[in-house]
Amino acid sequence: MDLNTVFQRLNTGSKKWSQYPEDVLPMWVADMDFPVAEPIMQALKNRLEHPLLGYSVAQDTLRETLVAHLARQYDWHIQPQDLVFLPGVEPGVNMALNSLAPVGSGVLVQTPNYSPLLSAPAHWKLTRVDLPLHADAKGQYLTDIAALQHALLSARTFLLSNPHNPIGKVFERDELRAIGEACVQHDVLIVSDEIHADILFDGRRHTPIASLSADIAERTITLMSASKAWNIAGLKTAFAVVQNPALREHFTAGRLGLVDSVNTLGLEATHAAYTHGQSWLGQVNAYLQNNRDHLAHAIDTRFPGIRMHLPQSTYLAWLDCSALDIQHPQQFFLAQAKVALSCGLEFGDDCGQFVRLNFGCPRPMLEEALARMERALLDR
C-alpha cells in the first residue's frame, strides 16, 4: 500500500478541502488524506449490489465483532446488548448530557480540549467546569488528582477525552484508575470520548476507563468509532458501550427525535474495519508515527519559535507558537503561508498562541505545508 500518493480531493464535497480557497493547503480538521482500506471498499461495493438502502439496524454479527474486538484489544469483556449505535460520538456526548446530567449541574472538562466537548454543556444549560492540564518538567501532561477531587465538588458529569485531543495524550492505567475512583467517590457520571483509541504510537496500548472496575463501568458511557482510525468519518457511524442497564435505558431515551438511526453503509464499513482492517491500520499507524517523528524533527531544527509536545496518539500535533511573537498564529499561517491549521482558541480560551496541525496525510503534503510555513516565517 502506497501512502505517499496525494489524492485530488477538490470538488469532491470534502469538508476539509472545501473550507478554504484552492491555493490553501488544509491541515486542520481530523480527516486523513489516505485511501480507505480495500476490505472496507469491497464491503461497501458488495452491499451496493443489493438495490435497497432503507433504514438499517446493527446485525448480531456486528455486535459480536465489536465484543470480540474489545476483548482482544483491551481485555474488556462486555455483552452485545451493552452496545448502542449512533451516527457519531458528538451526538452521543450530547445525548448523555441531555438525558443524564442534572439540570443546571456542572460538567468537568480537562482543558485544552476538543471544541465540541467544550461547547456541549452550554447546549443543555449546564455549567462547564474547567480543569487545566499542565505539562510537567519532562513535558508530560498529567491529571492533578488533588485538583480533580476539588473540581468534582462542583460537577456531576466528567467528559473525558482519551486519547486526548488536541494534546495526543494516552492516559495510563493508574491515572485512569485514580480519575475513575474519584468519580465513584463523588457520584459523578463519566462520559468518555475514545474515538482515537485505535491510533497509538511507540507500542502503547489504549485502556478504556470502564474496563478498570465494575464500579467505574457502572457510571460510564464510553463512545467509540472506526471513523478516525479507518478514515470513514463521512459514513457517520459510532457506538456507545453502556454496561449499566438503567443508565443505558436513560441514555437511549435521550435521542428525543434528534439523534437518528445509523447510516446503512456506515454499519457495513464498521464491520469490515474491525473484521478485516487490522493489516491496513497497522501500516497506517506506522506511517503516522514516522510522520509524527518527521514533524517533530522539523519543528526542532527549522522552527525555533515553535514547541511541540510529542503526541502518543491521534494524528494531531499541538504546536505552541508563543515564542514567535505573532498575535494570531493561525491567521498568520493562513494568510502568509496558505496553510490552514486549527486555531488554538477552539480548544481553550487561553490557547490563542497554539495551533493544531493534522499530520494524517502523505509525507509530500506534510513537507509542503512545513516548507510554506518556514518560508512565511523567514519572509516576515
For range 55-80, the mean pLDDT: 97
- pLDDT tens column, 79-103: 999 999 999 999 999 999 999 999 9
Structure-block grid coordinates of residue 140: 508530560
Under the banding of pLDDT at 50, 70 and 90, the label for residue 14 is: very high
pLDDT at 138 over 80: no
Determine the pLDDT at residue 288: 98
In the chain, the percentage of residues whose pLDDT exceeds 90 is: 96
What pLDDT, on a 0 to 100 scale, did the predictor assign at position 136?
81
**What is the pLDDT, as a whole number, of residue 376?**
98
pLDDT bracket for residue 134 (50, 70, 90)? confident
Quick check: 203 pLDDT over 90?
yes
Residue type present at position 256: L
* Rounded Cα gap, residues 220 and 192, in angstroms: 7
**Least reliable range by pLDDT among 92-96, 135-139, 329-333:** 135-139
Q: Quick: pLDDT tens for 245-272.
A: 999 999 999 999 889 899 999 999 999 9
What pLDDT is attached to residue 137? 73
**Whole-angstrom Cα distance, residue 355 to residue 330?**
6
* pLDDT at position 275 over 80: yes
User: Which residues on adjacent β-strands are paired with residue 107?
Assistant: 128, 157
| Burial grade of 377 (CB within 10 A; 0-12, 13-18, 19 or more) | buried
Give CA–CA dist 72/76, Å, rounded.
8
Express each pLDDT in 231-244 by its tens digit. Answer: 999 999 999 999 99
The distance of Cα 262 from the centroid of its chain, to the nearest Å, equals 19
Domains of the chain, earliest start first:
15-31+278-379 (3.90.1150.10), 52-276 (3.40.640.10)
Mean pLDDT within 267-281: 98
- Average pLDDT value over all residues in the chain: 97
**DSSP result, 150-168:** HHGGG-SEEEEESS-TTT-
Quick one: average pLDDT of 270-283?
98
pLDDT above 80: residue 58: yes
Average pLDDT rounded to a whole number, residues 278-297 = 98
Over residues 155-161, the mean pLDDT reads 98
pLDDT at 190 over 80: yes
For helices 363-379 and 278-302, angle between their N-to-C axes, nearest 10 degrees: 20
Query: Please, where are the H alpha helices in 157-210?
Result: 173-185
Q: What is the pLDDT of residue 163?
A: 98
